[in-house]
């Protein structure tokens, strides 16, 4: 069996939840964001760990993710962050998911689904304060939606929220402006709603954005987007194995396009991982892996299924030896953030790019 695996350390995820709870204080609820297969970590397993840690809410992007969780026995409240079609709304109501609404059509769909399913539909109102993605943009629309909701008692308005576009920027001007708009918009809403605005960045550095609840995704996986004293550790490590070892001579090139040519004798290992596994091709000749606790540079172009690395100075290496792509080996560590910086992207994308052919294994090393 190919030994390219992603290890998910559920004990670390739980520690991160506890650290975040301590940071936000006892009066603020915690919503754990598990959308997109829990940022590549495994939807059901991460949600189960979050439920065991008694998070107040889970967040998913689409109804199908919420249905999977309900079918797996997750009974924590679940917010679907996208506005849904009529068909998806019915599915969400049937499984007791909380809906995001920001148009009359969303409210009407929720009402129709509620009548059909014979159960109430809980909704949160999405307010667009400057992201210009989804949400009610003009506060004049809010009374119209409230009037419509008043005619549909089966559709229960439980919360309202917004999302900040630049919360991780050093310049907080945009966040300040969005926060001011949010305050003006929520003045028009009934009292007692669950209000949430801050995601990972704002939750950590802006107490004034926490309101009733914070939505935390990437920080719980160990990658806070801002500098923080809160102890948050990466949950995922990624490793593979050496499947071939050879010597090359000066003048020999490595991999497609001959993008690397040896200037001295080198020992080269071929790893059982490539861009088909999510180890991005644009990392070619730019990153290292860890073998025997030492950094071994990638040589040449990363292939679909294999990658070559320089093990000249790595010490004893043989077929079957372990290579760490993300994680710690001895005193050295490679993070998704490091790979993201080299690839000119963000840690979210690096984690989500690890493909489905890489098995996830789950560990509780308490």
Pairwise CA distance, residues 153 & 146, whole Å: 11
Taking CA atoms, 41 is separated from 5, 206, 217, 249, in Å, by 12, 27, 12, 41
Pairwise CA distance, residues 70 & 52, whole Å: 15
If you search the block for the tokens 């829990």, which residue do you land on? 38
Query: Among 104, 246, 256, 286, which one carries the catalytic annotation?
Result: 256
| Contact by Cβ (8 Å): 164, 201 | yes
**Strand order through the sheet with 121-126:** 78-80, 57-60, 29-33, 213-216, 194-196, 155-161, 121-126, 99-101
35 is an active site residue: yes
Structure tokens at 105: 């059509």
Question: 140, exposed or middle or buried, with CB in 10 Å at 0-12, 13-18, 19+?
Answer: exposed
| Contact by Cβ (8 Å): 261, 248 | no
| Contact by Cβ (8 Å): 225, 200 | yes
Helix (H) or strand (E) holding 114: helix 104-117
Taking CA atoms, 49 is separated from 221, 224, 233, in Å, by 12, 19, 16
The phi and psi torsions of 229 (rounded to 5 degrees) equal: -90, -5
Pairwise CA distance, residues 314 & 317, whole Å: 7
If you search the block for the tokens 């003045």, which residue do you land on? 187
Pairwise CA distance, residues 240 & 122, whole Å: 45
Question: 138, exposed or middle or buried, with CB in 10 Å at 0-12, 13-18, 19+?
Answer: exposed
256 is an active site residue: yes
Pairwise CA distance, residues 238 & 347, whole Å: 14
| Contact by Cβ (8 Å): 310, 268 | yes
Query: Among 29, 35, 126, 280, which one carries the catalytic annotation?
Result: 35
Catalytic residue list? 35, 256
């Amino acid at each position: 069996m190919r030994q390219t695996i992603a290890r998910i350390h559920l004990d670390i995820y739980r520690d991160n939840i506890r650290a975040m709870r301590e940071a936000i204080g006892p009066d603020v609820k915690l919503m754990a964001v598990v959308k997109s297969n829990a940022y590549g970590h495994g939807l059901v397993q991460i949600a189960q760990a979050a439920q065991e840690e008694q998070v107040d809410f889970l967040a998913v992007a689409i109804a199908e993710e919420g249905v999977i969780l309900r079918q797996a026995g997750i009974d924590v409240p679940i917010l679907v962050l996208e506005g849904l079609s009529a068909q998806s709304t019915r599915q969400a109501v049937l499984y007791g998911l909380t809906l995001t609404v920001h148009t009359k059509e969303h409210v009407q769909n929720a009402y129709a689904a509620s009548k059909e399913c014979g159960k109430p539909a809980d909704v949160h109102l999405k307010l667009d304060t400057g992201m210009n993605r989804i949400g009610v943009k003009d506060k004049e629309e809010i009374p119209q939606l409230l009037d419509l909701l008043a005619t549909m008692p089966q559709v229960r308005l439980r919360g309202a929220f917004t999302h900040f576009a630049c919360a991780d920027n050093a310049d907080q001007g945009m966040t300040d402006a969005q926060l001011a708009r949010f305050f003006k918009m929520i003045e028009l809403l009934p009292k007692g709603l669950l209000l949430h605005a801050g995601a990972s960045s704002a939750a950590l550095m802006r107490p004034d954005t926490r309101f009733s609840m914070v939505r935390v995704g990437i920080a719980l996986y160990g990658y806070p987007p801002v500098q923080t004293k809160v102890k948050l550790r990466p949950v995922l490590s990624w490793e593979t194995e050496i499947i071939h070892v050879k010597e090359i001579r000066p003048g020999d090139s490595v991999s497609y396009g001959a993008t690397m040519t040896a200037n001295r004798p080198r020992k080269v290992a071929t790893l059982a991982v490539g861009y088909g596994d999510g180890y991005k091709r644009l990392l070619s000749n730019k990153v290292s892996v860890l073998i025997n606790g030492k950094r071994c540079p990638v040589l040449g172009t990363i292939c679909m299924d294999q990658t070559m690395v320089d093990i000249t100075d790595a010490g004893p290496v043989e077929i079957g030896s372990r290579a760490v792509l993300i994680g710690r080996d001895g005193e050295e560590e490679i993070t998704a953030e490091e790979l993201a910086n080299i690839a000119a992207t963000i840690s979210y994308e690096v984690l989500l790019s690890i493909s489905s052919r890489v098995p996830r294994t789950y560990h509780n090393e308490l």
